[in-house]
Chain A
Amino acid sequence: MNAKEIKELIDLMNANDLLELEVVEEGTKIRLKKMYDGGTKIMPMPMPAAPAAAPAAGAAPASGTPAAPATKAGAHVIKSPMVGTFYRSASPDSAPYVDVGDPVKPESVVCILEAMKVFNEIRAEMEGRIVQILVENGEAVEYGQPLFAVEPA
Chain B
Amino acid sequence: MAQTRSINFGLLRFLKRQERPVLPSEIEDKLDIDHGDLIEELEIMADAGYEVELHPYLGVRLLDIPDRLLEHEISESLNTKVVGRKLHIFASCASTSDEIWALVEKGACKDGELALADAQTKGRGRMGRAWESAGGKGVYLSFFANLKIPEDKVQVVTCAASLAVANTIEQFAHLPATIKWPNDVYVGKRKVAGILVEARSDHPGKYVVGIGVNVNQTEGDFPEELRDIATSLRIERRTGPVNRVRLLRPLLFYLDNVFAQVRKKKFERVANAWKEYAGGVGKKVKLTHSGKEIAGTLLELNPVEGIRLRDERGKEQTFRPEHVLTIQEIS
Contact = CB atoms under 8 A, between A and B. Distances in A.
B323 A140 contact: yes
Interface in B176-209: 182-183, 195-202, 204, 207
Interface stretch (B58-66, B154-162, B308-316): B154-162
Contact of B155 (A94, A118, A143): A118
B152 interface: yes
A123 B202 contact: yes
Contact of A82 (B128, B198, B322): B322
A114 interface: yes
Nearest to A141: B323
A125 B207 CA distance: 18
A91 B127 contact: yes
Interface in A65-124: 81-85, 87, 90-94, 106-107, 114-123
A139 interface: yes
Nearest to B319: A140
B325 A81 contact: no
B266 interface: no
A73 B173 CA distance: 61
A116 B290 contact: no
Interface residues of A, number: 28
B154 A91 contact: no
B320 interface: yes
Contacts of A116: 154-155, 158-159, 182-183, 303, 321-322, 324
B323 A84 contact: yes
B36 interface: no
Contact of B199 (A83, A90, A118): A118
B263 interface: no
Nearest to B320: A83
B204 A143 contact: no
B202 A119 contact: no
A83 B150 CA distance: 11
Given A87-B127, A138-B290, A143-B152, A106 B197 contact: no
B106 interface: no
Nearest to A93: B128
Contacts of B155: 115-116, 118
B322 A125 contact: no
B321 A92 contact: no
B323 A118 contact: no
A14 to B, nearest CB: 29
Interface string A2-20: 0000000000000000000
A67 B200 CA distance: 33
Nearest to B162: A117
A84 B291 contact: no
B293 to A, nearest CB: 12
A120 B198 CA distance: 6
B262 to A, nearest CB: 12
A73 B167 CA distance: 54
A95 B196 CA distance: 21
Contact of A117 (B128, B195, B201, B291): B195
B322 A83 contact: yes
A120 B158 CA distance: 12
B30 interface: no
B289 interface: yes
B17 interface: no
B151 interface: yes
A75 B157 CA distance: 34
Interface in B289-331: 289-291, 303, 320-325
Interface of B: 126-129, 151-152, 154-155, 157-159, 182-183, 195-202, 204, 207, 289-291, 303, 320-325
Lowest 5 A-B CB distances belong to which pairs?
A91-B128, A115-B322, A116-B155, A116-B182, A83-B322
Given A92-B127, A115-B155, A143-B152, 11 more contacts: A87-B127, A91-B128, A106-B202, A116-B183, A116-B303, A117-B182, A117-B195, A120-B201, A139-B290, A140-B323, A143-B151
26 contacts: A83-B320, A84-B323, A87-B127, A90-B127, A91-B127, A91-B128, A92-B127, A92-B128, A93-B128, A106-B202, A114-B325, A116-B159, A116-B182, A116-B321, A116-B324, A117-B197, A118-B197, A118-B198, A120-B154, A120-B199, A120-B201, A123-B201, A125-B202, A138-B290, A140-B289, A140-B290
